[in-house]
Structure 1
């Protein structure tokens, strides 16, 4: 099965209620720049990255896919996924200009598409190809009701709806607003509304300084918070180590890390409790699996960052024994042929061949309109 063509794709899907906000970003659309890889057998594999739908940047990603990596792939065996990943990763010209950033985002999209191709050629879902772990379903936690631009009343209402009507037993709330005191009030209101049995996660998106993270992180403990995600600057291993030693609230991080070696440094420093690899910033499924194995070897749970790449992450989590929980965000659910399905608070294993990232015909029809 030889690769004949790489076709660039950019999708922009609207987010909830026309716009969301965390401590550092406000967006109206989720971007999915990616690629369709065509083969001489007629099989087509799809892979995407994830952005804040900034068209100039999205174009840079797909240009890197087709113009930089594309020539390395034409004529190659599409089933040689790991060999092709190493060929692209070690390409001297591309390696010279970036071992993370846009080049990693582009490589990740290609890698997903190659795994998608292999699954389709073998007529099996990705979780099955990766070996599975005996899981038939996977617990989901919902992020899409905890945004900072929601009023406290709307925040509480949305969280109650997720639990009482949709069956979720875990939700995530954004913190890192202008007032740490108000952050705590919002968390207190949600805990009071949901009771003691529902898990609450929090996410500061890197907003806090070390003193603020210590102060607020310790105060979060009174509300039985499962974790504080990205409390500080994303690459500060030493600072997170000091924070972990100064508070009881567990730390989750990883969505902004691009390399296996970065995860290794956080794990070895005891600076992370929940490991959150994302195939978008890691260079696809191939490197994601390496990070999951690293976490598993150190007895740490893997809870991937989704935003919104749950279509693929559901397969990885079904297959890897370190994963028992996965974030849910619905932005791409109407854009994919086989979207991730959550029923009564659990992901249900997809039976469709592939990695779950093939767009619908309607989604593909929007490409030239962006």
Structure 2
């Protein structure tokens, strides 16, 4: 039985800020204690806003609701999600729920690691180099692409959506020149386009052999995503800004995507992400977990369909100094492997 929930909020500067408005990431660690003395630790995360609101939700409504429950991840998740619905079916509520769900999975693993607990399907997954780099100068962008190439990443992703489409084309062309023809290249518009501009942009970028275009339209515009996908030859990737299994269902039923990218925290933890992955499997749509490679990489080793893990340059928990060695995942020569840890493998540093 769960007897206590405690949280700690940590704000960590990014060595490579994600723009003027995102100089840091915020992580709320969540520790659950059971009646027999065992503890499990999870986390909630936000790169920009809402960290204090998430912590308040955890410290008050969620704490009151979770104490006294048995530590069963799926049962607790369903009960808490219904309890919190008045505050919204996604967003702050699911971000907060993730901290509890991850702590419960940490407990469920016992002495085994997460990958073994879920069921290992592969020994390693490819990693793609990712940058929050729309604000980079052309020189900075080219230098980053060079670092990815030197590190042996088989794929890279860059931001697009500048005011001038000509600038986007020049930047993508420069990255393609650096990484060569054999490295996969993806672009991410972060919802900056409308449908006509997305069509023009994808046509202008077609010669650079894009592996996918990510979040070309506002995330809520499911109809627009489906219309765009039906009219272009480049795969469409969406999902980092979706929060519930119902939103992912609607994307799949509408035929709005070729790749789904749920964020394990934004959807509410491992429990809902696994449900999303099984749903996507019935549509033959792969799931590529978004960011947070220490957990997403472990999930990628156990998901039904092959995928890649995303690593934003110098933004992993290890790179931010939030966790201690040995780290739960190791990235080497463009491949991610999980370590021999127990539970989630996150050894949080004491601040």
Deviation at residue 53 of structure 1 after TM alignment: 4.4
Match for residue 299 of structure 2 among 308, 313, 316: 316
> How big is each residue's C-alpha offset from its partner over 1:86-115, in whole Å with a ceiling of 9 and x where there is no partner?
111222xx2222111211111112111110
Does residue 52 of structure 2 align to residue 66 of structure 1? no
Does residue 115 of structure 2 align to residue 132 of structure 1? no
Match for residue 141 of structure 1 among 104, 124, 128: 128
Equivalent residue number for residue 153 of structure 1: 139
Equivalent residue number for residue 341 of structure 2: 352
Match for residue 217 of structure 1 among 198, 202, 208: 202
Pairing of 1:228-267 with structure 2 (within 5 A): 228-267=213-252
SS, match of residue 27 in structure 1: coil
Q: Identify which range, 349-358 or 278-287, moves more after superposition.
A: 349-358
SS, match of residue 319 in structure 1: coil
Equivalent residue number for residue 186 of structure 1: 171
Alpha-carbon contact 1:155-1:190 (below 8 Å) kept: yes
Normalised to the residue count of structure 1, the TM-score between the two structures is: 0.89
Equivalent residue number for residue 173 of structure 1: 158
Does residue 111 of structure 2 align to residue 123 of structure 1? yes
Equivalent residue number for residue 20 of structure 1: 18
Query: What is the rounded CA distance, in whole Å, between the counterparts of 1:117 and 1:263 in structure 2?
Result: 28
Query: What is the rounded CA distance, in whole Å, between the counterparts of 1:320 and 1:132 in structure 2?
Result: 8
Equivalent residue number for residue 184 of structure 2: 199
Does residue 77 of structure 2 align to residue 82 of structure 1? no
SS, match of residue 16 in structure 1: coil
Equivalent residue number for residue 285 of structure 1: 270
Does residue 256 of structure 2 align to residue 271 of structure 1? yes
Query: What is the rounded CA distance, in whole Å, between the counterparts of 1:340 and 1:317 in structure 2?
Result: 11
Equivalent residue number for residue 4 of structure 1: 3
Alpha-carbon contact 1:35-1:62 (below 8 Å) kept: no
Equivalent residue number for residue 104 of structure 1: 94
Query: What is the rounded CA distance, in whole Å, between the counterparts of 2:125 and 2:54 in structure 1?
Result: 32
Deviation at residue 339 of structure 1 after TM alignment: 4.6
Alpha-carbon contact 1:34-1:110 (below 8 Å) kept: no
Alpha-carbon contact 2:277-2:304 (below 8 Å) kept: no
Normalised to the residue count of structure 2, the TM-score between the two structures is: 0.94
> How big is each residue's C-alpha offset from its partner over 1:92-144, in whole Å with a ceiling of 9 and x where there is no partner?
xx22221112111111121111101221xx201111101111x1111100113
Query: What is the rounded CA distance, in whole Å, between the counterparts of 1:300 and 1:350 in structure 2?
Result: 28
Alpha-carbon contact 2:128-2:156 (below 8 Å) kept: yes
- The number of residue pairs the alignment matches comes to 345
Alpha-carbon contact 2:189-2:215 (below 8 Å) kept: yes
SS, match of residue 45 in structure 2: coil
Alpha-carbon contact 1:48-1:357 (below 8 Å) kept: no
